Structure 1
Amino acid sequence: MMLCIAVVGPIAFAQSSGPIEDPTPAIQTPPPQASDSEIKTRISGIFDEIATLRKVTVDVSHGVVTLGGEVANTAAEVRAEEIALRVNGVVTVENQIERRLSVDNGAGPFFGDPSGRLDKLYRALPLYGAALAVFLFLALLGHLVASWRSLWRWALPNPFLEELVSGAFRILMLLVALVVSMNVLGATALMGTILGGAGVIGLAIGISVRDTLENYVSSIMLSVRQPFRANEHVVIDEHEGKVMRLTSRSTILMTLDGNHLRIPNSAVFKAVILNYTRNPERRFEFELGVDAADDPVAAMQIGLDRLKAMSFVLSCPEPEALVQTVGDSNIVLRFMGWVDQRQTNFAKARGLAIVATKDVLEEGGFTLPEPIYRVRFDSGVEDALKSAKPESRGAGAAEQPRVKARPSSNYDSDVAADNTIDEKVDAERASSSEADLLDEQRPVE
């Protein structure tokens, strides 16, 4: 009597609840109401017809179905429970099925009957052929478009970007071809799994090679920005030299002593770059000291007159001089002048300007202070010096008179620009087959 109430109650409730219907058809049992034995017979008969559920045992008591036995995998276990719940008269299902962990069950899908597998493969050959044809067509189309150099050269003015974008387009078309061919085969779920795994692997690789990626991105930015030209005299942080070329990995300089210097592009992109070539006019400066008793204004005027008289010193901008510091025994003057680096060697011009200014100050009666040292002798050393006989000194110890050299008036000799490094850079660029990302047609920053 209690079983009838439990079964009829839900039926009456379903009839009064409205038009909601269960889309899954119920498994019918003999009317008017199935007993426990009938439910057991019905479920056991269904399990006997399913190969993966034949070892499942069924026990029914008061509408509660207890499933036992063993199945090969979790999917079979879930299927058995779903079938039992669809039988009329079942109140609930107690699932006590265990999964078999034997080797034959796990390896069965791989070492099963080969004749069935070959038959399925033979019937699927037309579909596989169609998928392969789609893949090859799209991959070949992507390769041809990526190899169309005139198209990329027209769209992208930079050769490095041209190579980068064309390579990325080729890879993208391969991925599109793979996705479309998998859709033809109906294996979209497998494709999603593969792409998900590839994304995780790509993220791990990206983290591990982040320095290389940073250098690669810096190469792209430098090729677009063009911060310098070939053969320009630059200082990149503490590295100085003439620019030879910009590659996809590094910037190559030739130092002023003729050596090759490679700087990673990531360091170049973040570095402070000083370019001496961009403005051909360059200022040199140096400091000279005069005695504290001398007139610094007169000394500056004499020095400036000499600088203005030198042929390699530019008249516009004019040379300048100022008082740098005033010390206890000297006054430090700073002299500044400009030269044209295209015609004048900067280092030689500065050196000759220092010599010429020093000589003219000395000729004008100004004293260039020398370092003053105070020497202290112990009492024993002092007594020994006093008792020393004059004849004990050698003939070479006699003090020689100081002869002051006459200043030379040829201060404009040999200041022509030195093009040795420029010629070496041009020769290296002409003989090397390494790609250069510097483009003379693009504007520089």
Structure 2
Amino acid sequence: MRLLSLLLVCLALASTLPLAAQTADQPDGTITVEDSATQDAAIAVRIRDILGELDGYRNVTVTVSSGIVTLRGTTIDSAAATRLNEIARRVQGVVAIRNEVVESTDVVERLNPAMQRFRARFFQFIAFLPLISVGMVAFAVVTYVGFWIARRRQPWDRIAPNAFIADIYRQILRIAFVVAGLVIALDILGATALLSTILGAAGIVGLAIGFAVRDTVENFIASVLLSMRQPFRPNDTVEIDGEEGKVIRLTSRATILLSFDGNHIRIPNATVFKSKITNFTRNNERRILVDMGVAYDTDLTRAQAIMLETVRALPFTLEAPAPSVWIESLGDSSVTLRVAGWIDQHDTSYLLARSEASRLCLAALDAAGVTMPEPTFRILGPDTPAPAPARAPTKAPDMEAQQTDAHAEAQLEKIVNDERRALGDQDLLNRDAPVE
């Protein structure tokens, strides 16, 4: 019972709030001393005439006594009841306003204005149907023209560096014609102001989607940039993000490499674009390096000359750039000599050439009696015998270089070419595109 009483009190207080709000707006100015019944009647008539011309005040009654206007009745909403104060206070001679108008709860009365608005808008839509039809036809024609131009192979295939960029051009053209058709249709309907709202909403939605798929957008942009400024060609031997292999193709999502083990390596284009790329195939000349460790008591000048002459005499070594040799490092038990020679990597296998250079340098040093130290330690004492003399040169080994043509690389290139022919439409690499 106490809970019910409290609820009734709250409802009673709530019912008084709209009335207080309605009577707060009172007229200002000086109140005259004279009280005229004629003036009161004129005020009441004037207010009734005004309310009679306005919608929503049919059930409102007006009485005036001594300049005090009393309003009673119902309206369809509280805003209409509040507007009565503004109307009454502007009438000359009004001293105060007592607004007792409440919001109507009659279902039929409240639905009638909505039905009238719906009916008016329906008839307005029917009247606009011919104009809407013209706007839709204009939009369809403009859009069809744009899509027809985008479907043509020229000039997009000619001006684009590859098929991927050509498809982007076509998509941009389609969007441009759709927007143009929408502008024309809205202009025919006289609703061009709606276009800014549509574009603003589309921009907000696009920004939200962009943040949600940021990695995908980054990968897409990287694909566009890589396809326009291609840092490698098909069959190039490259190293990207620590992965080495031959380039098979560049797709809209990833760069595909064929490793020297015959495996496919897929690297996202965003990673490719941000990584250091080493292209081993761009130049014909490539340097091979051979390291040899000799003992500290070796005649280093003689050992260097032997290694240099051995590399220079190899049939695949280029005269320019010329071979060179130097001391690379000093180890615990050996001195590391490094000899460098240059080859034409398109005719000579890099791995086989380095292998042959290593084999023949080792054989030449061995034949010359140059000691190859082992990583051992010798403890010297009072009775330690003198070190053994250097061994005599052994029989001269076979110094003829083996076959070093690029046969293995050719086999890998054949695999790459076969796969490119099978999936040619998925490649963005183009030999006519500019190269970084």
- Scaled to the shorter chain, the TM-score interval is 0.7 to 0.9
Give the alignment partner of residue 327 of structure 2, picking from 312, 323, 328: 323
Q: Structure 1 residues 5, 47: CA separation in 2 closer, same or farther (over 3 Å shift)? A: closer
> How many angstroms apart in 2 are the aligned matches of 1:194 and 1:95?
44
Other-structure match for 1:216? 220
Q: Structure 1 residues 358, 166: CA separation in 2 closer, same or farther (over 3 Å shift)? A: same
Root mean square deviation, CA, Å: 3.8
* Identical counterparts, % of pairs: 40
Contact 2:321 2:342 in 1 (8 A): yes
1:38 equivalent in alignment to 2:42? yes
Residue pairs, 1:289-304, within 5 angstroms: 289-304=293-308
Secondary structure of the corresponding residue to residue 154 of structure 2: helix
Q: Which TM-score applies when normalising by structure 2?
A: 0.77
Other-structure match for 1:207? 211
Other-structure match for 1:17? none
Other-structure match for 1:186? 190
1:275 equivalent in alignment to 2:279? yes
**Which residue identity lines up with residue 216 of structure 2 in the other structure?**
T
> How many angstroms apart in 1 are the aligned matches of 2:107 and 2:373?
99
What's the CA shift for 1:65? 6.7
Q: Structure 1 residues 96, 367: CA separation in 2 closer, same or farther (over 3 Å shift)? A: farther
Contact 1:219 1:266 in 2 (8 A): yes
Unaligned ranges ≥5, structure 1: 9-31, 376-403
1:426 equivalent in alignment to 2:417? yes
Other-structure match for 1:169? 173
Aligned residues: 392
Other-structure match for 1:308? 312
Residue pairs, 1:51-66, within 5 angstroms: 51-55=55-59
Contact 1:243 1:252 in 2 (8 A): yes
* CA-to-aligned-CA distance 1:421-440 (integer Å, 9 cap, x gap): 10011101111154322121
Q: Structure 1 residues 73, 143: CA separation in 2 closer, same or farther (over 3 Å shift)? A: farther
Other-structure match for 2:126? 122
Other-structure match for 1:408? 398
What's the CA shift for 1:40? 4.0
Other-structure match for 2:386? none
What's the CA shift for 1:185? 2.6
> How many angstroms apart in 2 are the aligned matches of 1:140 and 1:204?
30
> How many angstroms apart in 2 are the aligned matches of 1:283 and 1:101?
95
What's the CA shift for 1:344? 0.7
What's the CA shift for 1:7? 9.5
Give the alignment partner of residue 440 of structure 1, picking from 420, 425, 431: 431
1:262 equivalent in alignment to 2:253? no
Residue pairs, 1:240-251, within 5 angstroms: 240-251=244-255
**Which residue identity lines up with residue 329 of structure 1 in the other structure?**
S
Other-structure match for 1:342? 346
**Which residue identity lines up with residue 42 of structure 2 in the other structure?**
E
Contact 2:333 2:375 in 1 (8 A): no
> How many angstroms apart in 1 are the aligned matches of 2:373 and 2:431?
52
> How many angstroms apart in 1 are the aligned matches of 2:360 and 2:111?
96
What's the CA shift for 1:42? 2.6
Other-structure match for 2:200? 196
Q: Structure 1 residues 211, 405: CA separation in 2 closer, same or farther (over 3 Å shift)? A: farther
Q: Which TM-score applies when normalising by structure 1?
A: 0.75
1:141 equivalent in alignment to 2:127? no
> How many angstroms apart in 2 are the aligned matches of 1:99 and 1:357?
107
Other-structure match for 1:285? 289
Q: Structure 1 residues 102, 359: CA separation in 2 closer, same or farther (over 3 Å shift)? A: farther
Other-structure match for 2:16? none
* CA-to-aligned-CA distance 1:65-118 (integer Å, 9 cap, x gap): 787766546875686566556645568989897767998788778767987665
* CA-to-aligned-CA distance 1:368-394 (integer Å, 9 cap, x gap): 11111689xxxxxxxxxxxxxxxxxxx
> How many angstroms apart in 2 are the aligned matches of 1:116 and 1:177?
29
> How many angstroms apart in 1 are the aligned matches of 2:28 and 2:420?
99
